[in-house]
Structure 1
Amino acid sequence: MTQDGGMTTSAGIHGRNDPDLTVGDVGEFGLIGRVAPQEHSDRVLVGPGDDCAYVTVASGRMLISTDVLVEGRHFRRDWAEAYDVGRRAAAANLADVMAMGGVATALTVGFAAPADLPARWAEDLTRGIVDEAALVGAEVVGGDVTAADGVVVSITVVGETDREPVLRSGARVGDVVAITGRLGWAGAGLHVLGRGFRSPRVLVEAYRRPEPPYEEGPRGAREGATAMIDVSDGLLADLAHIAEESSVGIDLDADAFVVPEPIADVAAATNADPRTFLLTGGDDHTLAATFPADRGAPEGWSVVGRVVEGEGDVTVDGVAWDGPAGHEHYR
């Protein structure tokens, strides 16, 4: 990925007093200039301006992941401000590194947009990406911009780990299944927005700006997690990836899930089963992992099930879930 379209630190955003300018007005290189990085830490040896960024990775163990957000499918501009879209986009990538037990260090951003998009929208998006990355000490080191019919944001993250990464394929029969972080909040927020409402506000904000438990990924790895995954598409759907990769089954205990009051209120108001939000709602970037039973889950994690004999199936109280298990592209 070329670095000519590199993104920025918050201090490096220029031209914020021109609210009427569009992306087309400023042009490709003008837009790049408005969001180009000004400062980096010592680990960024070469930032935007060359064909590649050049960064140091102290551990020598690199983790790399890419996520793409498409307007109208992953976000709507009338549902979230550009800054929040940036936070969500970065969180999706940073959470992937977290789920391997690592820490993100650098991001590159691909940005496509129509010419009439306000330039300030792109700048605010960049601020959101930079601020979310800063939560884990990561930096935006480059990227690219291009024209498109709609807004597309593609982020690639580079991270590192000082130990072997925690894979999806390590779960063993008898392990406990545990989660940490908010679960079902973003899904309930999306449910509310889809019906034309903006409350409960706490749920709408959870959808707009997730709060992944970034520190728990490395801690889970240190505490002996045998498998781990970022819950982005729904707990049932994502645990199925662990079950399939590990050639096991997973059975969840319905009574282990506590329904938060805001989710219970939305479920009651819309005649929905509150468990649907907890088990199938995505975008919270909750962390789910399996741990040896004799060691148990770390403090701050909630045990919600157990790894059993099976071939990729996930059940609730021993019974298959009746309905979609979560989000699946192209369906």
Structure 2
Amino acid sequence: MISMIRGCIRAAPCATDDDAAVMPIGRDDLVVCTDSVTFERHMPEGMTYEQFGWMAAAVNMSDLAAMGATPIGVVSALLLPKDMETSQVCEIMTGVDECAEFCNCHIVGGDTKPGNGVASVTAFGVMEGRRPMTRKGARVGDVIAVTGELGAAAAGFLALANKFDMPDAVSALCAPIPRVEEGIALSSSGLVSSCIDLSDGLATALNTICSMNGCGAIVEWDLLPRSQYVDEVCSRLGVPDRELTIGWGGEYELLFTFDRKDAETLYELGVDFSMIGLITENDVVLHRDEKYEALGYGCY
């Protein structure tokens, strides 16, 4: 679809293959991204309208975070059923505003129209003199790292579906925390060779990085920072822990690469991250239980 659209429009002088566009404005770079969430696809039973609004903003803030941008504002467009209650609309916008406040910015405009339940948010950020982090730049020998924990959102989805009492996992799914401060710190270091968020899952994110840089990767299963809820949900439902950890999306941690000699300097930034593997010449594989398995795109 994206390739088809690109063939229909003129090439922009500053277009990127990232989730956010970077446009020089005076002496700074303006970073802009837009994304939509829908009642049908992104609002599982049990999610509140306020959480839906938070997510609509968070998916965009995460894209800014992956570039290392400082958020400066958002605009939102709502396409909502005519029979929605006013209080429910207010809950959605409260969620958008709460996420914006968390990221130290405001809602600065928007639009409303009748529709089937869509919230589309556009977020704006600035680099403040930092170099934007992009998906291109990973080199053979670079360390692969991720912020935070993996799998909590997937566990939260299954917890909701099966009515398990796991509020923290459900919160990871319904009100994800965009890693804006971490992105700013990483971009300030100037040491990150590539970066992407995990909105489509670790497997898809890593394959995207490798595809764009003509390289491969090896991921060490034992180094993955799995959420405690992954093991609990997998034990109760008998589902594979691999898919919940690396195959699902809905997570908003950052995956980034860097030269191994810079690891200590990056840890000194105060960013919570785990080193999980290395960039290699070819093939994307997972090393687990003394076996190497092909690591394809995820299922999200």
TM tier, smaller: 0.7 to 0.9
Letter in 2 for 1:266: V
Letter in 1 for 2:192: A
**Map of 2:299 onto structure 1:** 326
Query: Following the alignment from structure 1 to structure 2, what is the Cα–Cα distance between the partners of residues 198 and 263?
Result: 13
Is residue 203 from structure 1 mapped to residue 169 from structure 2 by the alignment? Answer: yes
Is residue 280 from structure 1 mapped to residue 252 from structure 2 by the alignment? Answer: no
**Map of 2:144 onto structure 1:** 177
Q: Deviations over 1:145-199 (max 9, x none)?
A: 1001x210000111111222111011000000001123211111112223x3142
**Map of 2:10 onto structure 1:** none
Query: Following the alignment from structure 2 to structure 1, what is the Cα–Cα distance between the partners of residues 76 and 225?
Result: 37
Aligned residues: 265
Asked if the contact 1:236–1:314 (Cα under 8 Å) also holds between the matched residues in 2, the reply is no
Q: Deviations over 1:187-244 (max 9, x none)?
A: 11112223x3142222112211112322110111223110001100110101111111
**Map of 2:274 onto structure 1:** 302
Is residue 221 from structure 1 mapped to residue 190 from structure 2 by the alignment? Answer: no
1:326 shift after superposition: 3.2
Asked if the contact 1:188–1:281 (Cα under 8 Å) also holds between the matched residues in 2, the reply is no
Query: Following the alignment from structure 1 to structure 2, what is the Cα–Cα distance between the partners of residues 68 and 314?
Result: 30
Q: Deviations over 1:52-75 (max 9, x none)?
A: xxxxx7862101111111111111
1:259 shift after superposition: 3.2
Picking from 311, 314, 321, the partner of 2:284 is: 314
Q: Secondary structure at the match of 1:153?
A: strand
Gaps in structure 2 of 5+ consecutive residues: 1-24
Query: Following the alignment from structure 1 to structure 2, what is the Cα–Cα distance between the partners of residues 325 and 267?
Result: 18
TM-score, length basis structure 1 = 0.76
1:262 shift after superposition: 2.2
Picking from 139, 144, 154, the partner of 2:120 is: 154
Picking from 35, 51, 54, the partner of 1:84 is: 51
Query: Following the alignment from structure 2 to structure 1, what is the Cα–Cα distance between the partners of residues 67 and 235?
Result: 37
Query: Following the alignment from structure 2 to structure 1, what is the Cα–Cα distance between the partners of residues 120 and 198?
Result: 19
Letter in 2 for 1:314: V
Taking only the aligned residue pairs, the percentage that are identical comes to 28
Structure number with bigger Rg: 1
Structure with more of its chain in helix, by fraction: 2
CA RMSD of aligned residues (A): 1.7
Picking from 96, 99, 121, the partner of 1:129 is: 96
Asked if the contact 2:34–2:60 (Cα under 8 Å) also holds between the matched residues in 1, the reply is yes
Picking from 6, 19, 41, the partner of 1:73 is: 41
Q: Deviations over 1:248-300 (max 9, x none)?
A: 11210011024333221111001012232111222220111001122126222
Is residue 63 from structure 1 mapped to residue 31 from structure 2 by the alignment? Answer: yes
Q: Deviations over 1:71-95 (max 9, x none)?
A: 111114x321111111111110001
Query: Following the alignment from structure 2 to structure 1, what is the Cα–Cα distance between the partners of residues 94 and 276?
Result: 36
**Map of 1:250 onto structure 2:** 217
Query: Following the alignment from structure 1 to structure 2, what is the Cα–Cα distance between the partners of residues 314 and 282?
Result: 18
